Amino acid sequence: MNFQKAASVLLSALSVCFLSSCDIPLEEPAPSSKSQDGSVLSNSHEESTFTTDSSISKSESSAPSSPVATDTPEQSPIDTTKEYSDLSFLTADQQELYRVAYDAKDGLYGMGDNLMYLWGYRPVLDDNEAVVYIDEDYVLYNANFYEFSNHIHQIFTDSFLANSDYSVKFIDYDGDVAVNYSLKKDIVYGTTIQVNEAFPDTYRLVCSSENSIDFTLISHYDRNGWNGQNDSIDVYTIEYPIRMIKLSDGWRIDEFHTTMFG
């Protein structure tokens, strides 16, 4: 009896239950607040300040680089303090999804016609070669609404699109796409070429599982706004959550932000 009791205690002590990193949040999301300039700041945001000479050549900022990826995301344990200068912690498919979403940002958040031209659509013209307007605020495009809708739903989840301006900016007009030409978000104050070149975006992996991945976009801004080429810049950061989830037919972006539009 003593031997059986000892064996039972030993087996109980060796019983362990493992959970994936995304099943247990590494930290509770902090409520957001607004800075003096109206930008949304996370309470978990760590503000870093830099003062530097801004004599930097001016050129257009480009999309995030896409390094060679492994077949699977980085596995646990995850160092949530590590900052990445690229998206190497994503798979090749996930990197491509992020790139496509990034390219669509100017139309999704900025002027809607940016996305239409990006995807090869052009406005409908009348007999006088003039753009056709619908209800004054919309421009009609030579674009099948079903095909356009299917395209964007291959990038973003239904939930994300439902909570964005998508359904107002792009509407179904007799089977074609009509685009609101005036609806757009403001660019975050302090977004400058100077800062983008000197302090490009960085990323921090939060958690990863077979069906979801969460990471942080760390964006850099100048409190002084746009300055002359030789003026100093006062840099601070805002951290934005990005989330991808795996559906039955592939990965989608479920939460998305950009440095330019917040």
> pLDDT digit string (tens) for 48-84?
444 434 333 333 344 555 444 444 444 557 888 899 9
Mean of pLDDT over the chain = 79
**pLDDT score of 42 more than 70:** no
* Percentage above 90 pLDDT, the chain: 61
Mean pLDDT computed over 2-30: 40
The residue-averaged pLDDT of 108-119 equals 95
- Which residue is associated with the tokens 């680089």? 65
**Residue 197 above 70 pLDDT?**
yes
Helix (H, G, I), strand (E, B) or coil at 59: coil
Residues 235, 223, 60, 114: is their CA dihedral positive or negative?
positive
Q: Report residue 136's pLDDT band, with 50, 70 and 90 as the boundaries.
A: confident
b/e per residue, 174-184, with b = 16+ CB within 10 A?
A: eebbbbbbebb
CB 56 within 8 A of CB 229: yes
Residue 5 has pLDDT above 60, yes or no: no
User: For residue 38, is pLDDT > 90?
Assistant: no
pTM of the model: 0.70
Reported confidence tier of residue 228, pLDDT bands at 50, 70, 90: low
Mean pLDDT of the 125-135 span = 92
Of 203 and 231, the structure prediction assigns the larger pLDDT to: 203
Dig out the tokens for 75 from the structure: 């596995």
Q: Where are the beta strands (DSSP E) in the chain?
A: 32-34, 40-42, 50-53, 133-134, 138-144, 170-173, 176-180, 202-208, 212-222, 232-247, 250-255
pLDDT at 147 over 80: yes
What pLDDT, on the 0 to 100 scale, is given for residue 218?
Answer: 98
Measured CA to CA, the distance from residue 167 to residue 171 in angstroms comes to 6
